[in-house]
Amino acid sequence: MSDIRVRFAPSPTGYLHVGGARTALFNWLFARKVGGTFILRIEDTDTERSSEAMVRGILEGMEWLGLHYDEGPFFQSNYADKHRAAAYQLLETGWAYRDFTPKQERDDTNIKDQIAKERVVNPFRDLPKIESDARAETGEPFVIRFKVPAEGKTQFDDIVFGLQQRDYSDIEDLVLLRSDGHPLYNLSVVVDDIEMRITHVVRGQDHINNTHKQVLLYQALGKPVPKFAHLPLILAPDKSKLSKRKHGEIVSVTTYRDAGFIPDAFVNFLALVGWAPEEGLAAKDQEIFSREELIRIFSLEGIHKSNAVFNFTEGDERNWTDQKALWMNFEYIKTWPLENLLPLIQPELQKAGLWRDEYFGERKAWYEHTITLLRERARTLLDFAKHGRPYFVAGLDFEFEDAAVKKNLQKDPALKTLLPVLAERFAAMADFTHDAVEAALRAVAEENGVKAGLLINATRTALTGQSVGPSLFELVPAIGKQRAAERLRHAAGLV
């Protein structure tokens, strides 16, 4: 195992955002690739916005994606003492100062804007230490601010964005400790990353500005600066930042779990937004990658700089999320090894009350064959219970779609007599196979002077209640002789 250590550090917002999921994924891939350590740390220093329930959403998302962490979850709030100590250390070493400006004054946005615009130097910045200590002694409230040097600039070489520089004059004296003694984000992050010996910080591009501040903190604390890789953002179709408030459930990965996505498919999709394998590492134009392949070919250098758009149509039920993600899921359902797929389908059938343990035993062959039939047309895992219901229930415990009944059963009154005829023919068959069923059905059609198609489509609806589905002669044997005959007789009543 190498000594490379990375972390994913979400704030507990109650759900794992797709952008966050990709950040987690890239950290995970990188760690696995180099044999490093992947750490999960919950940034809950803002106690007002944190709760256990909020954390659970994150954990659930990680779990579903299969992004297992080697250490954690750590909770940043547990280390507040260390963060505070660091703030006081910086105060002692002269890298920070007490700011006694009353809070009300600071909360006034007009005053704040003015200070920012005119680059007003904080009056407490150079308050003599003795005086500062004395005022603190009397109980006068203060915040601890970092003292950004007057001249010079920060710089770091971002793995994705290249050399980044910032004049000190463009960085404000950030608050390290609130007046209630609460440590703030930039300080906490740096102290924790030092403590956890993080070597590579891989996070969203929206943190680039913070990074300059953090570099300063590392230096003031006399610690080595880790390497940084900032990721481009994932935007909504209107190019605005993807947010739950604005875009709803589509941003939460649990939505994809609940919508019947295969986690590997979603991971595969996510990996390809903002990143592509470097030439030669993967087959040209390859897009389907297993986790193992992704780990093998992943590199931070392959991440690109421009933001990506997550393409979906609001209000469109079929294209409720990115079409390529949808396609990817379908592709996995269709082509994944059956033994991978089966464990994901079982819970879906159980939820719908369709599961029978004999699918593991004497009905195994039938079950697996039926699943291979259904997977051809399933777009999500949910479809196995939805479209598959007629295959798994006894009798007539499934829905007849109105449109299907109208289109295929009520199309020709002759079906009223033909369906029972077909039922009897089926019931009398010894060999209920694809070819035998086809021969029987075509014979009935010919004897009665109707087109086979009429009977075929009517039979499909009779047996499944649906107008679409697998090839009929595959379908009928899967339903079986008994149920097929029974459903055909029943359907005659619907004509």
Partner RNA sequence: GGCGCGUUGGUGUAACUGGUUAACACGCCGCCCUCUCAAGGCGGAGAGCACGGGUUCGAGUCCCGUACGCGCUACCA
Residue partners of 4: CB distance under 8 A and separation at least 6: 30, 31, 34, 35, 36, 37, 199, 200
Give the torsion sign (CA, 267, 271, 277, 283).
positive
Tell me if residue 220 falls in helix, strand or coil: helix
The CA distances from residue 208 to 26, 71, 95, 211, 254, in Å, are 17, 25, 22, 5, 28
Residue 274 lies near RNA (rule: CB under 7 A): yes
Restricted to residues 146-175, the positions that interact with RNA (CB under 7 A) are: 161-162, 164, 166, 170, 172, 175
Nearer to RNA, 4 or 175 (CB): 175
> From CA 215, how far away is CA 149, in angstroms rounded?
13
Could you tell me the smallest distance in angstroms from the CB atom of residue 350 to RNA? Answer: 25
Tell me if residue 492 falls in helix, strand or coil: helix
Residue 219 lies near RNA (rule: CB under 7 A): no
Q: Single out the residue of 59, 127, 276, 396 in contact with RNA (rule: CB under 7 A).
A: 276
Q: Single out the residue of 192, 264, 322, 383 in contact with RNA (rule: CB under 7 A).
A: 322
Nearer to RNA, 37 or 101 (CB): 101
Among residues 374, 291, 375, the alpha carbon closest in space to that of 333 is found at 375
Nearer to RNA, 213 or 291 (CB): 213
Nearer to RNA, 288 or 393 (CB): 288
Could you tell me the smallest distance in angstroms from the CB atom of residue 1 to RNA? Answer: 28
Restricted to residues 12-71, the positions that interact with RNA (CB under 7 A) are: 43-46, 49
Q: Single out the residue of 323, 372, 410, 448 in contact with RNA (rule: CB under 7 A).
A: 323
Residue 275 lies near RNA (rule: CB under 7 A): yes
Could you tell me the smallest distance in angstroms from the CB atom of residue 262 to RNA? Answer: 16
Determine the residue type at 409: L
Q: Single out the residue of 52, 137, 151, 285 in contact with RNA (rule: CB under 7 A).
A: 285
> From CA 334, how far away is CA 374, in angstroms rounded?
9
Parallel, antiparallel or unpaired: strands 96-99 and 308-309: unpaired
Cα 373-379-383 angle, rounded to 5 deg: 70
Residue 398 lies near RNA (rule: CB under 7 A): no
Could you tell me the smallest distance in angstroms from the CB atom of residue 166 to RNA? Answer: 5
Which span sits near RNA by CB under 7 A: 58-66, 236-244, 339-347, 486-494? 236-244
Could you tell me the smallest distance in angstroms from the CB atom of residue 204 to RNA? Answer: 8
Q: Single out the residue of 227, 304, 416, 425 in contact with RNA (rule: CB under 7 A).
A: 304
Q: Single out the residue of 467, 480, 489, 490 in contact with RNA (rule: CB under 7 A).
A: 467
- Burial string for 22-46 (b: 16+ CB within 10 Å, else e) reads bbbbbbbbbbbbbebbbbbbbbbbe
CB 37, CB 69: distance < 8 Å: no
Hey, what are 237's tokens? 């179709």
Residues in the chain: 495
Could you tell me the smallest distance in angstroms from the CB atom of residue 32 to RNA? Answer: 20
Residue 279 lies near RNA (rule: CB under 7 A): yes
Tell me if residue 290 falls in helix, strand or coil: coil
Residue partners of 321: CB distance under 8 A and separation at least 6: 250, 256, 259, 310, 312
Restricted to residues 359-388, the positions that interact with RNA (CB under 7 A) are: 376-377
Restricted to residues 475-494, the positions that interact with RNA (CB under 7 A) are: none
Could you tell me the smallest distance in angstroms from the CB atom of residue 257 to RNA? Answer: 20
Nearer to RNA, 82 or 178 (CB): 178
Nearer to RNA, 4 or 225 (CB): 225
Q: Single out the residue of 227, 334, 416, 489 in contact with RNA (rule: CB under 7 A).
A: 334
> From CA 359, how far away is CA 362, in angstroms rounded?
7
> From CA 371, how far away is CA 369, in angstroms rounded?
5
Restricted to residues 423-452, the positions that interact with RNA (CB under 7 A) are: 452
Q: Single out the residue of 23, 27, 186, 329 in contact with RNA (rule: CB under 7 A).
A: 186
CB 429, CB 476: distance < 8 Å: no
Q: Single out the residue of 220, 233, 422, 440 in contact with RNA (rule: CB under 7 A).
A: 233
244 among known catalytic residues: yes
Direct distance between the N- and C-terminal alpha carbons of the chain, in angstroms, rounded to an integer: 69
- Which of the following is catalytic: 244, 334, 386, 416? 244
Nearer to RNA, 4 or 462 (CB): 462
Q: Single out the residue of 354, 381, 457, 483 in contact with RNA (rule: CB under 7 A).
A: 457
Which span sits near RNA by CB under 7 A: 27-35, 51-59, 132-140, 268-276? 268-276
Nearer to RNA, 275 or 355 (CB): 275
CB 483, CB 424: distance < 8 Å: no
Residue for token pair 């990353």: 193
The Cβ-side half-sphere exposure at 43, using a 13 Å CA radius, reads: 18
Residue for token pair 């995970």: 28
Residue 223 lies near RNA (rule: CB under 7 A): no
Which span sits near RNA by CB under 7 A: 55-63, 100-108, 424-432, 482-490? 100-108
- The reply to whether omega before 128 is within 30° of 0 (cis) is no
CB 490, CB 398: distance < 8 Å: no
Give the strand order in the sheet containing 143-146.
96-99, 143-146, 175-177
Applying CB under 7 A, the site for RNA has a residue count of 81
Residue 273 lies near RNA (rule: CB under 7 A): yes
Nearer to RNA, 49 or 356 (CB): 49
Which residue numbers are catalytic?
Answer: 244
